[in-house]
């Protein structure tokens, strides 16, 4: 995987013949052959492009998926392109998944099962939901994906953008009766995340439904770059990463980060954290860093961490390990283990990441993370703050935050001992 955007993207739009995978594969091949994509192009196919939603034959049709993938691989090898669309993925036990496969000249690159099933179409009776938040790793940048109904859940796209995606692929079978929603939601996902959106939809009559068509390629400012209308065909255009950077240079709403994952997942090793911070910075967002023991969490800590978070777009908290706390505070500390302290910190909305360190100072973390803002309590003179010189030398700044009066772990422990006596 590199930091390079796909050079071009296109949508393959056609009327899916329910329950006829060979016919549908042949149609995809003929449309792509007529389009003749440039090398490296990402071509997105509609949802359930090979079979449609033939619920009465899901198990049977799922057994044809390897053949469909082989057909896409041969097509990808012929044009040196990548193709993405959903197929039935059988499970060893239980229901299959409606899975988006990304296929290249060497085969399947990645897969993403549909996370939000559409109850109105009774999908949950025939498919299991996926749980991987994405994005997909690719030979280019990470690829964000949404499958049809998931278009209505903006947090699914936003979380993948946080992970470094500048291109969102949507594979859908969206009905004509909700065409206005389709057009509005696609532009909204592009505008709010400042990403390219390439969205493939079915068209014409598919079983008892008329599909909306209007497969779209949308720029990061919401401009529609290509629209397939209501007819079968392939539409696309080159992608220019400079347009994403230009748009985000003006303002970047996705830089206002909320935490979309499980709180416990905020606790990271330094090695695991660094790629996350690289992706955040790619969006123009700023990193703040602070550190401490945070042994018995109290209101003073919460006030301090909230103030620290307001200095930047992302707050990383360096947490002293148990051995580090003992060296600093004495043999009776910490009261709570490093695992418990990290877990409690991670539950705070103001905290984006927690990383442990075993030294008596966080200098190693600071020099690795290179925060734009180094935060410490106002009880520290700036000349005494570890890492201050390094942060300023790298173009960052130091913020000293006033502490809440009469709130400290030492004070709490003293009161607890008095009460117990």
Among 219, 251, 283, the domain-final residue is 251
Residues 383 and 267 in one domain: yes
Residues 161 and 260 in one domain: no
- pLDDT of the residue at 258: 52
Query: Helix, strand, or coil here: 195?
Result: coil
Residues 87 and 159 in one domain: yes
Structural domain including 387 reads 256-420
How far apart CA 336 and CA 234 sit, in angstroms, is 60
Check which CATH number belongs to the domain holding 162 and give it.
3.60.110.10
* Count of beta carbons in the 10 Å neighbourhood of residue 403: 16
Residues 238 and 178 in one domain: yes
Q: For helices 154-162 and 179-193, give the axis angle rounded to 10 degrees.
A: 30
Note whether residue 1 is domain-resident.
no
* Domain count of the fold of the chain: 2
Burial label, 177 (beta-carbon count in 10 A; 0-12, 13-18, 19+): exposed
- pLDDT of the residue at 313: 87
Residues 186-229: tens digit of each pLDDT: 999 999 999 999 999 999 988 788 999 999 999 999 999 999 99
Q: Which candidate, 71, 87, 91, places its Cα nearest to that of 30?
A: 71
- pLDDT of the residue at 403: 81
Residues 298 and 185 in one domain: no
DSSP conformation letters of 238-268: E--HHHHHHHHHH--GGGS----S-GGGGB-
Residues 152 and 285 in one domain: no
Residues 229 and 263 in one domain: no
Check which CATH number belongs to the domain holding 374 and give it.
3.40.50.620
- pLDDT of the residue at 1: 47
Note whether residue 93 is domain-resident.
yes
| Residue numbers of the chain with a pLDDT score lower than 70 | 1-3, 252-262, 407-417, 420-421
Q: What φ, ψ does residue 179 adopt, rounded to 5°? A: -60, -40
Q: Which candidate, 254, 286, 263, places its Cα nearest to that of 353?
A: 263
CB 295 within 8 A of CB 341: yes
Among 195, 229, 251, the domain-final residue is 251
How far apart CA 229 and CA 195 sit, in angstroms, is 22
Residues 155 and 87 in one domain: yes
Residues 156 and 77 in one domain: yes
Residues 285 and 162 in one domain: no
Among 191, 219, 251, the domain-final residue is 251
Residues 75-133: tens digit of each pLDDT: 999 999 999 999 999 998 889 999 999 999 999 999 999 999 988 778 888 999 988 77
Residues 290 and 305 in one domain: yes
pTM of the model: 0.67
Residues 126-152: tens digit of each pLDDT: 999 988 777 998 988 899 999 999 999
Note whether residue 2 is domain-resident.
no
């Amino acid at each position: 995987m590199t930091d390079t955007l796909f050079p071009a993207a296109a949508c393959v739009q056609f009327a899916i013949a329910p329950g006829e995978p060979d016919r549908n594969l042949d149609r995809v091949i003929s449309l792509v052959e007529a389009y003749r994509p440039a090398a490296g192009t990402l071509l997105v196919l509609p949802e359930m492009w090979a079979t449609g939603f033939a619920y009465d034959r899901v198990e049977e049709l799922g057994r044809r998926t390897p053949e469909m993938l082989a057909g896409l691989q041969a097509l990808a090898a012929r044009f040196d392109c990548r193709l993405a669309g959903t197929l039935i993925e059988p499970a060893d036990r239980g229901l299959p998944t409606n899975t988006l496969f990304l296929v290249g000249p060497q085969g399947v690159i990645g897969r993403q099962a549909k996370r939000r099933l559409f109850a109105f179409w009774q999908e949950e009776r025939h498919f299991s939901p996926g749980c991987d938040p994405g994005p997909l790793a690719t030979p280019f940048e990470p690829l964000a994906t949404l499958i049809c109904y998931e278009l209505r859940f903006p947090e699914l796209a936003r979380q993948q953008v946080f992970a470094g995606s500048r291109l969102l692929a949507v594979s859908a079978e969206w009905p004509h009766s909700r065409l206005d929603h389709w057009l509005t939601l696609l532009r909204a996902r592009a505008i709010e995340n400042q990403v390219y959106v390439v969205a493939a939809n079915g068209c014409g009559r598919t079983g008892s439904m008329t599909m909306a068509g209007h497969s779209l390629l949308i720029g990061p400012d919401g401009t529609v770059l290509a629209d397939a209308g209501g007819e079968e065909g392939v539409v696309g255009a080159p992608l220019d990463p400079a347009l994403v950077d230009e748009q985000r240079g003006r303002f970047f709403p996705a830089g206002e980060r909320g935490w979309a994952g499980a709180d416990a997942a905020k606790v990271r090793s330094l090695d695991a954290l660094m790629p996350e911070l690289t992706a955040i910075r790619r969006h123009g967002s700023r990193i703040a860093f602070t550190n401490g023991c945070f042994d018995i969490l109290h209101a003073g800590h919460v006030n301090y961490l909230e103030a620290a978070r307001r200095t930047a777009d992302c707050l990383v908290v360096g947490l002293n390990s148990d051995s580090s706390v003992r060296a600093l505070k004495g043999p009776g500390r910490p009261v709570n283990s490093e695992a418990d302290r990290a877990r409690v910190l991670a539950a705070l909305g103001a905290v984006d990441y927690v990383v442990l360190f075993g030294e008596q100072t966080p200098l190693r973390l600071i020099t690795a993370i290179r925060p734009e803002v180094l935060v410490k309590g106002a009880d520290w003179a700036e000349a005494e703050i570890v890492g201050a010189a390094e942060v300023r030398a790298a173009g960052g700044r130091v913020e000293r935050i006033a502490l809440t009066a009469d709130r400290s772990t030492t004070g709490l422990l003293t009161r607890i001992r008095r009460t117990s006596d």
